Structure 1
């Protein structure tokens, strides 16, 4: 077994994914990608520390490089440290097999918030992962390195900062979607307690937000090496879905918007994800740290962090699963924090101050983002109203703010629909509008509304052939072309109105901040594409203004 690898007992999370369509996740059993058997070798490419031999996918005429190590294995003393440069290897490395995935966990399942101690005894897992997971995949069109430097799209995978990896998202889909005029990169980063364990002890002798620092390190790798693959480091777009989109948000506000030299020129978010982002030593992240230490047998150690670094990975993984499952239903215990260096203040504050990296921004949200994160049985069985649900989701908001939330959502629908809207808007949709306003005059907004328009329903249009991709809810060629290519237009030209395909029928797309207009992507009752500009719902913007006003209480 690979150093740092783990094998655990069966986890019910995998079953819940296949049965409940847990948002942002794909059954990990479906994520296994066979090693390439294509006999055509791609060029050998020198990336400084070593050389990689990829392969050519003859069916798509795309060169593929899988499992490129962009950082050293974060094992032992490198746990909870900033990523380090990879070691040198004199021999050419094969890049024909998908990299191992980082250790994973499941979404919160608790009916209450904060975490009940009784939930911490649960264990799980039946899949082999490895801490040695800091790899990325690179794809470029053709059998030889493009002579003309192409725009680059870097995909950051979602999964609540606790799940998934590069194998789920095939970069060939991105290249085909962009008319074979881009270079694609798909990255991995540390997840769960391995990537987002926080607290004062990590601050004192480690690196907070290690998973985000991994991403930044990968983006720097792209700046330094993508030219060897035919990419233009000055034309990089970062794009992600769910927690990947949340990661994009973090890089937009990283280092007070003063990252130099720039790591990207454009940013795209598909369902921006902004859960509570506490200060690193807030009682909540400190509590998670203490729980992990206790479950790992390090609570009484004179040097807790050294003890944790020496702990077997399987023990840490058991704690990883327990603390995340114990979180409030549909939420995640191990997420980014305000660390004082990479992220210096609450995201809503940074965006309001327009302290941003990047020049152009495009956001897409799905109409019913929150539905899959809410337990409808808990709402109906307890006759919970909107104010009560808001108080459970955000325990620090007071009774007055909770009551105001209840009034704002009173006309949305049933109690379950109100809870769905609170979750979907406060965590996914409203943060997209905060980003749009930060990129004043240089932002575009889309809404995916094809029923049921759930979180993740749009992924199949970007990754139509990727392993585990959900089926398209509207399998119409004209719709798929116009929807997906609008985003690839931004990757190539930084403008969704500059089309590279005459079959893209999306009408003129106004910049959001000029008129509060966005592009609706829906279908008619007769099954035809319904793509047109619309004005953003005023009541939605009012609700988003409310969530922004209580950001100090929701920690957003």
Structure 2
């Protein structure tokens, strides 16, 4: 009787037929929260079973039915443990496969609203954009979209590789978590007013790298999990096979003392997360001199990932879907040690990220990237290697992907250049840094305090501009359909035009990629497969 009264109170005053805040799923029922702004949110929905114990290093499994009849979905799920993160942090856990849903309160199961499914970044070693608030994007869309955010396993929990994992576990579990969450959307998003046949996958950095890997997954097989993509700072890291990744597995076994066990993978599964985290840190790739920024990452497994990303696009092994790709002016600055002071320091850094780089390739890179602008408290070669790394890993892959679409005569292919300068970042030399546009796309008030202060002051006018393009793309697979009046048409990318939209407050307009950048990218793309991108 009490349950009936509660449900009656929850639905009182709501639009007839509107989705109830109480949503029943096979595993359990979740009680969402209707907000005063006309949006409801469901936080901390479990989309897969806890990947702990015997499920550590295994592909994600369906959640087990809960004996608790209703779970109050008003708290974000814990964030996945990242490499070198404190295991005692009360915001992280190995049990982390949760998602959040934001939807207009008056949506119904027949609303079939477009869905924006966001994959956060973090170099596949952290969840760096966790718990973004989707209400701002929904408001900008005119209450016409549903937003989904989620966590996925990273570091060794998501990407441990080696012959033992091939035999006794599963490779690329972080990517499989992402696909598991996509499958959840296909099954259940209609219960929140969303349309499973209209899903736009967005992501930044490793999230954008994930988009490329899902677009090319299984050789370009269409599992009908998504229907358009919007990638910010797509990243092409070096892909290793399981054999090439054996060093990382072996090092972890040695550090944890599991060398004494015959079944070393079972030993790793038996360790508590605190002890495992104490031994979870990066070591150099074979042949490199320094530990890379990100040691764990997607594995070239011959199944989900069947080829290097450059070659997959070159050979047309990708889904033909409407797509946005783009980058920031100074993609590399936040990654490079500021005291990089010689060509030796510069080359050693690049080799540490891409150990297959040859001496001839490093020599050519040093020529096409000369010593650049100097900044206080930084080494002579800091900006030089920042420019090189930013184009090797981010900018040139984005241009290459847009070209791959155009070579096949595909329409609905857009590219952008984010050139919105923040005074504080400029003063220290970071410039327009990696993925900074994510703060404008979501709105500076919705990213947990990570936005530059200028995005709420001098740069505030650019926020509604990019949000209108982005939500237009989510709603119609075209950034122009619902763009703000007076803003320029975002022209599609073509091979003969190399045109992209340059975002700049008061000056947003189409631009052509400069010839010198085209030349550098042509060289870097030509060596992409040889350095395992």
Q: Same fold (TM over 0.5)?
A: yes
What is the alpha-carbon distance in structure 2 between the residues aligned to residue 124 and residue 142 of structure 1?
A: 38
Q: 1:50 aligns with which of 28, 40, 48?
A: 28
Name the structure 2 match of 1:71. Answer: 48
Deviation of the 1:176 alpha carbon = 2.2
Q: Does 1:554 align with 2:531?
A: yes
Q: What aligned pairs does 1:480-499 form with structure 2 within 5 A after superposition?
A: 480-499=463-482
Alpha carbons of 1:311 and 1:323: their partners in 2 closer, same or farther (altered >3 Å)? farther
Q: Decide which moves more: 429-438 or 367-376.
A: 429-438
Alpha carbons of 1:166 and 1:420: their partners in 2 closer, same or farther (altered >3 Å)? closer
Name the structure 2 match of 1:460. Answer: 439
Deviation of the 1:143 alpha carbon = 4.4
What is the alpha-carbon distance in structure 1 between the residues aligned to residue 315 and residue 196 of structure 2?
A: 28
CA contact (8 A) 2:101 2:147 kept: yes
CA contact (8 A) 2:228 2:321 kept: yes
Deviation of the 1:299 alpha carbon = 1.9
Match of 1:554, SS? coil
Q: Does 1:541 align with 2:518?
A: yes
Match of 2:80, SS? coil
Q: Does 1:315 align with 2:275?
A: yes
Name the structure 1 match of 2:503. Answer: 521
Q: Does 1:61 align with 2:38?
A: yes
Tell me which of the two structures has the higher relative contact order, counting C-alpha pairs closer than 8 angstroms and 6 or more residues apart. Answer: 1
Q: 1:354-400 CA distances to partner (integer Å, 9 max, x unpaired)?
A: 211251110121000000101120x21x4547656544543322221
What is the alpha-carbon distance in structure 2 between the residues aligned to residue 483 and residue 555 of structure 1?
A: 33
Match of 1:287, SS? helix
Q: Does 1:356 align with 2:334?
A: no
Q: What aligned pairs does 1:505-520 form with structure 2 within 5 A after superposition?
A: 505-513=487-495, 515-520=497-502
Deviation of the 1:412 alpha carbon = 5.5
CA contact (8 A) 1:265 1:358 kept: no
Deviation of the 1:146 alpha carbon = 5.9
Deviation of the 1:522 alpha carbon = 1.6
Q: Does 1:184 align with 2:185?
A: no
Q: Decide which moves more: 243-252 or 126-135.
A: 126-135
Q: Decide which moves more: 153-162 or 207-216.
A: 153-162
CA contact (8 A) 1:149 1:231 kept: yes
Match of 1:337, SS? coil
CA contact (8 A) 1:240 1:268 kept: yes
What is the alpha-carbon distance in structure 1 between the residues aligned to residue 392 and residue 290 of structure 2?
A: 15
Q: 2:64 aligns with which of 83, 87, 110?
A: 87
Name the structure 1 match of 2:207. Answer: 244
What is the alpha-carbon distance in structure 2 between the residues aligned to residue 245 and residue 251 of structure 1?
A: 10
Q: Does 1:470 align with 2:459?
A: no
Match of 2:27, SS? coil
Q: 1:148-191 CA distances to partner (integer Å, 9 max, x unpaired)?
A: 21100001111111223674311213212323210110011011
Between the two proteins, the alignment pairs up a number of residues equal to 490
Match of 1:52, SS? strand
Deviation of the 1:537 alpha carbon = 1.8
Q: Decide which moves more: 466-475 or 144-153.
A: 466-475
Match of 1:279, SS? coil
Q: What aligned pairs does 1:139-218 form with structure 2 within 5 A after superposition?
A: 139-145=102-108, 147-164=110-127, 167-218=130-181
Q: Does 1:286 align with 2:246?
A: yes
Q: 1:133 aligns with which of 89, 92, 96?
A: 96
Name the structure 2 match of 1:109. Answer: none
Q: 1:406 aligns with which of 366, 373, 383?
A: 366
Q: What aligned pairs does 1:350-429 form with structure 2 within 5 A after superposition?
A: 350-377=312-339, 379-380=340-341, 382=342, 384=344, 389-410=349-370, 415-429=381-395
Structure 1: segments with no counterpart, 5+ residues? 1-38, 107-122, 524-528
Name the structure 1 match of 2:415. Answer: 445
Match of 1:551, SS? coil
Name the structure 2 match of 1:8. Answer: none
Name the structure 2 match of 1:272. Answer: 234
Deviation of the 1:147 alpha carbon = 4.0
What is the alpha-carbon distance in structure 1 between the residues aligned to residue 43 and residue 284 of structure 2?
A: 30
Q: Decide which moves more: 159-168 or 368-377.
A: 159-168
Deviation of the 1:125 alpha carbon = 5.3
CA contact (8 A) 1:52 1:95 kept: yes
Q: What TM-score results when the alignment is normalised by the length of structure 2?
A: 0.86
What is the alpha-carbon distance in structure 2 between the residues aligned to residue 268 and residue 179 of structure 1?
A: 20
What is the alpha-carbon distance in structure 2 between the residues aligned to residue 360 and residue 417 of structure 1?
A: 34
Name the structure 1 match of 2:5. Answer: none
What is the alpha-carbon distance in structure 2 between the residues aligned to residue 512 and residue 64 of structure 1?
A: 40
Name the structure 1 match of 2:376. Answer: none
Deviation of the 1:402 alpha carbon = 1.5
Q: 1:394-451 CA distances to partner (integer Å, 9 max, x unpaired)?
A: 3322221211112221375563222011111111111212221232233101111122
Q: Decide which moves more: 149-158 or 308-317.
A: 308-317
What is the alpha-carbon distance in structure 2 between the residues aligned to residue 327 and residue 176 of structure 1?
A: 49
CA contact (8 A) 2:47 2:97 kept: yes
What is the alpha-carbon distance in structure 2 between the residues aligned to residue 126 and residue 368 of structure 1?
A: 35
Alpha carbons of 1:374 and 1:231: their partners in 2 closer, same or farther (altered >3 Å)? same
Name the structure 2 match of 1:306. Answer: 266
Deviation of the 1:245 alpha carbon = 1.1
Q: 1:211-268 CA distances to partner (integer Å, 9 max, x unpaired)?
A: 00000011011111111111111110000111111111111111111132x1111111
Q: Does 1:336 align with 2:306?
A: no
CA contact (8 A) 2:213 2:305 kept: yes
Q: 1:27-52 CA distances to partner (integer Å, 9 max, x unpaired)?
A: xxxxxxxxxxxx97852112233221
